Amino acid sequence: MHVNNPEALKVWLTDVLQPLCDADPSALARYVLALLKKDKPIRELTQCMLEQLDVFLGAETKPFLDKLIAVIKSEEYIKAQSPGVNPTPAVPASQAIAPAPPSLDPIKPVKGPRECTPPLDVSPTFHFPLNYRLRFLL
């Protein structure tokens, strides 16, 4: 299916998918865009997407796909993006809040049985049979 502005559709998809599922909406939006790129008739594409997205959206899959197809045909996702308007409000640097520093918790020792292999004996006699070793001693 042809999409005129994939970036605008990705933004629209991210906003719409946010309340519908627990998955990362940005990643799911990229997945939906990848599914839309398949060169199939609209019925086959819809059926394929219904099967693929059911895992993420459950009962909301069919209504979501109906809305998605309608939005793509009407190009409403492009109209929702008004050109020249920055979606994030500008905050003066003097009022900007610095991010909190990462926590510097000390490393805690692991409690419980240690799961590691014992050290290997690397002496030269380790790999040879006893009778072979005795030859050199006599």
pLDDT digits (tens, 9 = 90+) for 43-99: 998 899 999 989 888 899 999 999 998 988 888 877 766 554 444 444 555 555 656
Residue 19 lies in a domain: yes
Residue 28 lies in a domain: yes
Domain that holds residue 70: 6-80
The whole-chain average pLDDT of the chain stands at: 74
Residue 32 lies in a domain: yes
Residue 63 lies in a domain: yes
Q: Which residue would you say has higher pLDDT here, 61 or 116?
A: 61
The HSE-up count of residue 73 (CA atoms within 13 Å, CB side) is: 7
Residue 126 lies in a domain: no
Residue 22 lies in a domain: yes
As a 3-state breakdown, the chain gives helix, strand, coil percent values, each rounded to 5, of: 50, 0, 50
Confidence at residue 47, expressed as pLDDT on a 0 to 100 scale: 92
Residue 108 lies in a domain: no
Residue 118 lies in a domain: no
The helix/strand/coil state of 125 is coil
Using CA atoms, how far residue 57 sits from 12, 51, 79, 81, 110, in Å, is 16, 10, 25, 25, 39
